[in-house]
């Protein structure tokens, strides 16, 4: 069985769209499923809308709404997957939606690559002006299969995985602990990085999720999400289990994130490791300053034996 986890906070205008898109994709794939909505203390009626939807569909599907005081999206996602009964956990944000083919693509990846610790489809963006953008993703994300290296893909284009197109085996979530509590921006990127150290990432270039920039109350627009992910990368570089190639890929990814934080590279658009080499001395000095600023804030909860990844091919 698969479990769908949808955290919701102040998304009254969008939660029903997300639920309907999830149900449509699940039914199309003929999946055995449950849907878990986690209401993270909404005051706009989001939870009531979700409960009404569950009540209307309770004869045909297995679904529930979990309510909690506002603790942040990481805590909401963690509450969802920890309450799940499925072997595979699919995540969807309450203001985004799935395409009909998403679940089918994920299930195919799960069957083809049971060793994968993370599975994902491609995603598109509907901007505030209503225009839909289809991205060119990073290295290895043009073919269906295992990414040659997650961290290289992160360095050379938009993130190949988001909180609305990710699927994670329960065993992998239990090993990594899921999403970092108390982190409000970039928490999902840190979680994907931990999973990518645990095992390979399976990818389908089919569009499986639509990210709505025009949605109300988006918490991720214009926020410094690269900071927390860069702290994770700094910690990952300290792992003794890394191959030289993996260490180089993470090192490049770290510098790319520093450049994004400095405004020298755009977020979520095409970047290149060569862009680092082409920077001026002043720009490179800015990167060093940013890295030094975070050097004493390294995440210390990552243990090498937990995230060692001999199966990682990069």
pLDDT for res 277 = 61
Share of the chain above pLDDT 70, in %: 77
Q: Is the pLDDT of residue 29 over 90?
A: yes
CA distances from residue 197 to 145, 152, 166, 236, 238 in whole angstroms, order as listed: 17, 13, 16, 8, 13
Q: Is the pLDDT of residue 17 over 80?
A: yes
Section 251-268 average pLDDT: 71
For 271, phi then psi, to 5°, come to -120, 175
Distance of alpha carbon 241 from the chain centroid: 24
**Mean of pLDDT over the chain:** 83
pLDDT for res 134 = 73
Q: Does domain 2-212 have CATH number 3.50.50.60?
A: no
What is the rounded end-to-end Cα distance, in angstroms, of the chain? Answer: 31
Identify the residue with better confidence: 268 or 147.
147
Tell me the chain's radius of gyration from C-alpha atoms: 19
Pairing mode, if any, of strands 63-68 and 33-40? parallel
DSSP string, 133-179: EE----TTTTSSEE-S-HHHHHHSSS-S--TTTEEEEHHHHHHH-SS
* Nearest-angstrom CA–CA distance, 6 and 49: 13
When mean pLDDT is compared across 33-47, 58-72, 234-248, 254-268, the lowest value belongs to 254-268
Q: Is the pLDDT of residue 311 over 50?
A: no
pLDDT for res 169 = 99
What pLDDT digit, counting tens, does each position of 81-127 carry? Answer: 999 999 999 999 999 999 999 999 999 999 999 999 999 999 888 87
Q: Tokens 């993996």 sit at which residue?
A: 246
* Nearest-angstrom CA–CA distance, 46 and 260: 34
In a 13 Å sphere around the CA of 56, the CA atoms on its Cβ side amount to 10
Share of the chain above pLDDT 90, in %: 55
pLDDT for res 12 = 97
Q: Where are the domains of the chain?
A: 2-212, 226-307
In this structure, are residues 138 and 157 in contact, taking their beta carbons and an 8 Å threshold? yes
What pLDDT digit, counting tens, does each position of 132-191 carry? Answer: 777 666 666 678 999 988 998 887 767 789 999 999 999 999 999 999 987 767 789 999
């Amino acid at each position: 069985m698969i479990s769908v986890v949808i955290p919701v906070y102040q998304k009254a205008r969008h939660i029903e769209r997300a639920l309907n898109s999830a149900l449509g994709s699940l039914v199309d794939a003929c999946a055995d499923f449950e849907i878990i909505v986690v209401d993270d203390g909404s005051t706009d009626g989001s939870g009531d809308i979700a409960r009404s939807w569950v009540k209307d569909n309770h004869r045909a599907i297995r679904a529930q709404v979990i309510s909690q005081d506002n603790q942040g999206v990481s805590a909401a996602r963690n509450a969802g997957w920890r309450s799940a009964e499925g072997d595979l956990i699919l995540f969807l944000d309450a203001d985004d939606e799935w395409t009909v083919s998403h679940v089918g693509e994920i299930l195919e990846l799960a069957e083809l690559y049971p060793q994968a610790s993370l599975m994902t489809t491609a995603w598109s963006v509907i901007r505030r002006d209503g225009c839909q953008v289809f991205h060119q993703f990073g290295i290895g994300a043009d073919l269906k299969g295992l990414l040659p290296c997650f961290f290289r893909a992160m360095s050379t284009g938009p993130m190949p995985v988001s909180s609305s197109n990710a699927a994670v085996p329960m065993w992998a979530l239990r090993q990594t602990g899921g999403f970092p509590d108390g982190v409000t921006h970039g928490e999902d990127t840190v979680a994907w990085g931990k999973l990518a150290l645990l095992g390979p990432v399976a990818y389908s270039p089919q569009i499986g999720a639509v990210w709505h920039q025009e949605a109300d109350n988006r918490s991720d627009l214009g926020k410094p999400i690269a900071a927390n992910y860069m702290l994770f990368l700094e910690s990952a570089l300290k792992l003794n289990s890394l191959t030289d190639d993996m260490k180089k890929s993470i090192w490049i990814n770290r510098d790319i994130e520093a450049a994004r934080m400095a405004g020298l590279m755009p977020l979520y658009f095409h970047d290149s490791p060569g862009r680092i080499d082409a920077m001026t001395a002043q720009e490179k000095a800015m990167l060093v300053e940013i890295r030094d600023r975070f050097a004493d804030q390294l995440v210390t909860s990552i243990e090498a034996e937990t995230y060692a990844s001999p199966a990682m091919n990069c």
